[in-house]
Amino acid sequence: MTELLEHAGAAGLGAVLLRPIRAHAFEMCVERLAAAIRLGVYPSGSPLPPERDLAARLGVSRATLREAIAALRSAGMVSTTRGRGGRTTVEYTLPEPGTPGPGWVAERRSELVESLAFRRIVEPGACYVAACRSLGTEDRERLVQCEREVREAPDNAAHRQADSRLHLAIAAASGSRMLIEAVTDVQSALHEMLLAIPVLGRNITHSSRQHSAIVSAILKHHPEAARRAMEQHCDDTAALLSGLLGLPVDEHTTTPVEGS
């Protein structure tokens, strides 16, 4: 689906994830907009929200926002048309999964291991909190829509971004700003790792069943079931990544660890 997720309900993921910046305004503005584009919050071919709205969400001046967008434009991630009806359009094309850069894993081994271990704590926690809440219509519809988009993704690149959006939607349903920020960070790291391995049909089928179970548990207000389902999902993904990227694994938790 190429339609901007921003329009799925009164408040899309962009409105939830693009939070005010506290320091290093220009650099953080570039980082957050780039992450939203890479993770598919703003898919290729879709427009970014108007400058006034983005500046307000990020808590930066429009001058700073324009500089950040210019940086994204220089990186080939967006293009801008001027004049009446002008807009900034996402031009980012997701790399084909399974094509990591040379030496990438070895150079960042410690960081990858830590991010997977952190994910095992943060994402199940977000599921638990979300399942404990009385979710509004927007949150419920967003979860259902994002889960469906993962199942119905037309190709590997679309699937990768739809998968990220679902996990971000779960974080948004927790209602916790700190959880949203933590899950956004771990999903950014996970996104890079998953791009570095081949797409495996059997894994996608299994993962889709887990996604369905997680969303169902959240919507039915079963926090323990939601937490356990996400723990298993995280463990399975970590085991796959560890095997294909050569990271060490804790035999008791299947979570990658250092020093093995």
Mean pLDDT by 10 residues, the chain (260 residues): 38 75 78 85 91 92 92 87 85 72 70 93 98 96 96 89 95 96 93 83 88 98 98 91 72 46
What count of other Cβ atoms lies within 10 Å of the Cβ of residue 197?
A: 17
**In CATH, what class is 104-245?**
mainly alpha
Residue 136 confidence (pLDDT) = 95
Nearest-angstrom CA–CA distance, 144 and 43: 19
Residue 227: how many CA atoms within 13 Å on its side-chain side? 12
> Two tokens at 139?
């949150």
Q: 3-state DSSP call for residue 114?
A: helix
What are the structural domain ranges in the chain?
5-90, 104-245
DSSP secondary structure code for residue 88 in this structure = E
Residue 219 confidence (pLDDT) = 98
Nearest-angstrom CA–CA distance, 181 and 187: 10
Residue 255 confidence (pLDDT) = 52
Architecture of domain 5-90: Orthogonal Bundle (1.10)
> Two tokens at 87?
């807009």
> Two tokens at 59?
């808590």
What is this structure's pTM?
0.75
Q: Is the dihedral of CA 190, 196, 202, 208 positive or negative?
A: positive
